[in-house]
């Protein structure tokens, strides 16, 4: 392997790790309820899809 290929693999790994960590952290924040104690969405994935539809 040359240095460029190693850098691309490391970059892809870092990007994937960052996306997964962002998803986990955001989902944990979502599990917390609002100030009034109510849940607005049924699950985290739906809460992310609503703004895009």
Residue pLDDT, tens place only, 1-39:
688 899 999 999 999 999 999 888 888 877 766 667 676
Within-domain flag for 4: no
Distance CA 44, CA 49 (A): 9
pLDDT of residue 52: 56
Tell me, yes or no, whether 16 lies in a domain.
Answer: no
The answer to whether the pTM exceeds 0.75 is no
Return the H-helix or E-strand segment holding 47.
helix 44-49
Residue 34 lies in a domain: yes
CA atoms within 13 A on the CB side of 26: 11
Asked whether residue 1 is assigned to any structural domain, the reply reads no
Range(s) of the domain holding residue 32: 23-53
């Amino acid at each position: 392997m040359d240095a460029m290929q190693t850098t691309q693999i490391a970059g892809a790994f870092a990007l994937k790790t960052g996306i997964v960590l962002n998803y986990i952290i955001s989902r944990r924040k979502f599990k917390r309820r609002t100030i009034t104690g109510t849940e607005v969405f049924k699950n985290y994935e739906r809460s992310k899809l609503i703004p895009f539809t």
